[in-house]
């Protein structure tokens, strides 16, 4: 019988879809690479379903050969997988795109609101007994009506954030280095700007780019210093897009007014000093954390797994060239 291994248990309907076709094992933890290699040597599998925190290196892939046919990620991002090594070995890699758009956009707007209006900072002050009553200039923040939202990246999630921000009366501009298809309802309501100009002009910068060599530390010290001192930075994309130690200095020294973060450079560790920044709203990677979205991700992961087991290129395969020499036959 086909064998499927998950590092962590996935929500319904993953188990319900996969178990009729394969034996399913769940480690229940994020293993060290050496531990995962040992497990794969000991018990061969056909499909591996890791988390974004699992480094899927060439050594991990080799440990699962010759049987492994697919790495079915429970995530949109796949920067934790050595895609070149997987492709060279004829191993498909799949992800779960599309279903996270609205949930992540909601999270980005929530972080923007909380940071701009200093809501978490205020909450902490009330809980600590520091609030002594209403004052005319106490804890003033950024008014979003009329403010310029700068979206770095303008794909599905960036455009979903734009729609929500328009409801607050914000002006919208975006910067992108790839060709994008803008939906009809947004085309006449947004403008494109070079990144450097956008950083200097925007009241809020929200990041919506994948992690690549080009976007690693895209928001570095120079970028942060170029932003307005009243600006807010929001990141729901990938942690390493921001130079986190530089961001800590920016928050501490007032280069920018605040930040709303859902992702971090070395999750779950944070850069020293970040938790001391009261002008930072820190969420524990909740972008896709709704019941409906996590269930939809589980369904896609299960479908990708079943595709691979049946000898089909997974529906959401990010490296179809892995099967270019001919798809494997269905797993027994």
Just list the catalytic residues. Answer: 238, 267, 285
Nearest partner of 225 among 256, 188, 202, judged by Cα: 256
* Locus of tokens 């390493």: 240
Task: Give the distance, in angstroms, between the CA of residue 324 and the centroid of all CA atoms in the same chain.
Answer: 29
Q: How far apart are CA 4 and CA 226, in angstroms?
A: 49
Q: How far apart are CA 153 and CA 217, in angstroms?
A: 15
Q: What Rg, from alpha-carbon coordinates, does the chain have?
A: 22
């Amino acid at each position: 019988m086909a064998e499927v291994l998950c590092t962590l248990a996935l929500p319904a309907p993953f188990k319900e879809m996969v178990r009729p076709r394969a034996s399913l094992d769940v480690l229940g933890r994020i293993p060290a690479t050496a531990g995962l290699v040992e497990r794969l040597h000991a018990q061969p599998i056909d499909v591996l379903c890791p988390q974004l925190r699992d480094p899927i290196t060439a050594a991990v892939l080799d440990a699962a050969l010759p049987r492994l046919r697919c790495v079915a990620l429970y995530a949109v991002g796949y920067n934790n997988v050595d895609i070149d090594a997987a492709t060279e070995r004829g191993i498909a890699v799949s992800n779960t795109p599309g279903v996270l758009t609205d949930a992540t956009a909601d999270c980005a707007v929530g972080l923007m609101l909380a940071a701009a209006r200093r809501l978490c900072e205020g909450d902490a002050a009330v809980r600590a007994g520091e609030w002594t009553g209403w004052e005319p200039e106490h804890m003033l923040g950024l008014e979003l009506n009329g403010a310029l939202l700068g979206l770095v990246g303008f794909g599905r999630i960036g455009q979903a954030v734009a729609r929500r921000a328009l409801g607050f009366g914000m002006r919208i501009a975006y910067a992108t280095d790839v060709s994008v298809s803008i939906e009809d309802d947004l085309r006449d309501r947004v403008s494109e700007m070079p990144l450097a100009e956008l950083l200097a002009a925007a009241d809020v910068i929200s990041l919506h780019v994948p992690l690549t060599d080009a976007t690693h530390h895209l928001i570095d010290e120079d970028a942060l210093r170029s932003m307005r001192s009243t600006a807010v930075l929001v990141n729901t994309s990938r942690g390493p897009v921001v130079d986190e130690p530089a961001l800590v200095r920016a928050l501490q020294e007032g280069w920018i007014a605040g930040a709303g973060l859902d992702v971090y450079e070395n999750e779950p560790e944070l850069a020293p000093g970040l938790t001391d920044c009261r002008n930072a709203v820190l969420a524990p990677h909740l972008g896709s954390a709704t019941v409906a979205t996590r269930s939809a991700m589980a369904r896609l992961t299960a479908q990708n797994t079943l595709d691979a087991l049946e000898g089909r290129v997974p529906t959401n395969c990010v490296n179809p060239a892995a099967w270019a020499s001919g798809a494997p036959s269905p797993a027994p």
